[in-house]
Structure 1
Amino acid sequence: MAAPRLAVLGIDLGGTKIAAGIVDPADGAILFRSEIPTLAGAGAADLIGRVAAQATALLRLADAAGVRVRGAGLGLCEIVDRQGRLRSASLLDWQGRDLASLPGLDLPLVIAADVRAAATAELRFGAARGVKDGLYVSIGTGISTALIIDGQPYPGANGAALVIGTAKVETVCGNCGTASGESLEDFAAGRGIERSYDSTLQTTARTIIDRAETGEARAVEVVRRAACRAGAAIGHLANCTDPEVIVLGGGLGCAPGLYADELRQAIRRARWVGMPTKVQIRTAMLGPDGGIVGAALAFHEAAR
């Protein structure tokens, strides 16, 4: 009788959606996959319960197919330190929530920062294979970055290395002296695009980008401005870190069209002209599944 195929449950918990899958860590293949909306406004207890139900359904599919799932990795859009401890509460207030396991699941669980998990997946199976010094940038609902040093995502002392998307930059109006503070995400990522286009947030970033592709003037203006600001920030970050490769991931980072074109042009404009070689800009090969594969790899690496 053949030995069962070994796999890991990977869960990518983002600001808009929760993508999960049963992953073979040997080749990164996703055997079963599902996706549900995050609905963070319903609270932590509701979210954790729905993630557990989503995971249970996937585990049943794996069991029926004779796949043995050894554990689970949970990638969060939060700051996670080297020991797998949460250091932020950007998406939800996790205070008092036990994330060492999921309700009803008898599986060991490892917590990881979603951006470093996705970077790990690209290093292992995707656009960053063979890269020693690089940047992985995920642009979706928000913006997150991972610095790659010697072929590994670098967490920093507390897991907060290169957290630039949510960092507030205070500006003062030269005319009236009014101070305001906005982050890069506030105007350059999905949520910022939605807010700039429609203050009621009734139009999704995907719809706005689609309208820009048809030439709608307001959508073109919003998308172009967002991409240029994101690209300028990434270009300046590259000037500080000197990568050989920049990998763009996330829903917006991977999507072709006006945003992607303007983003890449802005990165190159912001690069210091004295650099001896041009940085390569690559699109993440695993696309939106990088977070799932990376979360599974987080458990796989921890269990070795």
Structure 2
Amino acid sequence: MTGAGKTQPAAAVMESGDYRVGIDLGGTKIAAGLVDIQSGAMTHFRRRPTLVSEGPAAIIRDVAEIAAEIIALAKAEGRFPLSVGIAVPELVDLEGRVCSDWNFSIETIGADVEKLLGIPTMADSDVRAAAHAEARFGTGRSHQSFVYVSLGTGISYSLVINGRPWSGANGFAIHFASSELALPKEDDTGLTIANAEDFASGKGMQRCFARRAGEPLEDGVRTLEVMSSKGDPLSTRILDEAAEVTGRLLAQMINMIDPEAVVLGGGLGCSTGRYREKLEQHMRENIWAKHCQSIPLKLAALGEGAGVVGAALAKPPGNRRQTIKVGA
């Protein structure tokens, strides 16, 4: 009741909580929602296509529009978001600047959206955002250290230590399969140069199929699992080769970092068919230390929501630089 004896409308009653808007900006879709960052609960989930062909201005406009819609719905319920976080499939430095343009050129998207909305807005790399969400609310909660690996259209990773993704000296610690590798050819005539991501990612697998079959996959990589289960030798070969490449890469990462667990996210990472089975086989076979060959290999718990929740957890630029404490 109010002092005047009137009942206040339910929509105007302010709820306690720490609410943020999280936006997962992908190469094909924008996913967004209102996140209670104390519990990880997400409401007002929205999804729309990413209009890459229309250019950066259209993407920024759509991100701002979907955020504004969620903010308006939240305020109508008495929940007032404190900030907007945007997870992007690019390099993002410690100041929140997007420093690559593999998918689109949106260097100042955080500042641009903030100007449109009038609310603090931060950007972060999508894999780091998803890892943060899994550390706080998902599969990584029970581990002091784990590696979150996103396997989908591309391949990326984030090392999590004591609940925080390790950003690196510049914010770029997300790559492990993007650089070209060189190995001697069997006939000693030179080196074979190859990029694992171009071959073993979802996009790479689709390209391999199109090149070898002379026609594109009808429904993306998922089609490979279906065709393989029906005995198609080409689909089986592509799945097996990509799984072996990725499994060996994961083993190398485990050999280098020695984490408590590996958490797989992304469309490929969360698959449960032949690809996942062969990936785990090759990963365990190529781990050097026998003690580590039984390392837990887990699936991300938050699914599509990981990027949205993780984006909402994005820290302001001034709070991103990390240090390693040695000793007591």
| Alpha-carbon separation, structure 2, partners of 1:234 and 1:156 | 19
Aligned to 2:243: 227
Partner of residue 237 from structure 1, selected from 253, 260, 263: 253
Contact 2:255 2:289 in 1 (8 A): no
Aligned to 2:79: 67
Partner of residue 154 from structure 2, selected from 136, 142, 160: 142
Letter in 2 for 1:146: S
Contact 1:139 1:250 in 2 (8 A): yes
- Superposed, 1:68-147 pairs within 5 Å as 68-94=80-106, 97-102=108-113, 104-147=116-159
What runs of 5+ residues in structure 1 fail to find an aligned partner? none
Aligned to 2:224: 208
Q: C-alpha displacement at 1:299, in angstroms?
A: 4.6
Contact 2:14 2:77 in 1 (8 A): no
2:293 aligned with 1:293, yes or no?
A: no
Letter in 2 for 1:264: E
Aligned to 2:295: 279
Letter in 2 for 1:280: P
Letter in 2 for 1:212: S
**Higher Cα Rg, which structure:** 2
Aligned pair in 2 of structure 1 residues 216, 65: CA closer, same or farther (>3 Å)? farther
Q: C-alpha displacement at 1:291, in angstroms?
A: 0.7
Q: C-alpha displacement at 1:162, in angstroms?
A: 4.7
TM-score (norm 1): 0.89
CA-atom RMSD in angstroms:
2.6
Aligned to 2:14: 3
| Alpha-carbon separation, structure 2, partners of 1:63 and 1:72 | 14
| Alpha-carbon separation, structure 1, partners of 2:270 and 2:317 | 26
Contact 1:76 1:112 in 2 (8 A): yes
- Superposed, 1:169-184 pairs within 5 Å as 169-170=181-182, 173=185, 177=189, 181-184=193-196
Partner of residue 165 from structure 1, selected from 171, 177, 189: 177
Letter in 2 for 1:3: M
Structure whose residues are more often strand by fraction: 1
Which SS does the other structure have where 1:129 is aligned? helix
Partner of residue 40 from structure 1, selected from 33, 52, 65: 52
Aligned pair in 2 of structure 1 residues 73, 299: CA closer, same or farther (>3 Å)? farther
| Alpha-carbon separation, structure 2, partners of 1:215 and 1:59 | 50
Letter in 2 for 1:195: R
2:42 aligned with 1:55, yes or no?
A: no
Q: How many residues were matched structurally? A: 302
Which SS does the other structure have where 2:66 is aligned? helix
Identity over the aligned pairs, expressed in percent? 36
TM-score (norm 2): 0.83
| Alpha-carbon separation, structure 1, partners of 2:116 and 2:81 | 15
| Alpha-carbon separation, structure 2, partners of 1:28 and 1:128 | 14
